[in-house]
Amino acid sequence: MWILALGIGHGGLFPLVLTLPVVIARNAAEAGQISAMAFFVGYACAALAPVLIGSLRDGLGDFHRAFGLLGGLTALMLLPIVRLYGRHGRVDRP
Q: Is the pLDDT of residue 90 over 60?
A: no
11-54 pLDDT tens trace: 777 787 788 888 888 898 988 888 888 888 888 888 988 898 88
Mean pLDDT of the chain: 80
| Long-range contacts at 19-23 (CB < 8 A, ≥ 24 apart) | 20/84, 23/88
> CA–CA separation, 63 vs 69, rounded Å?
10
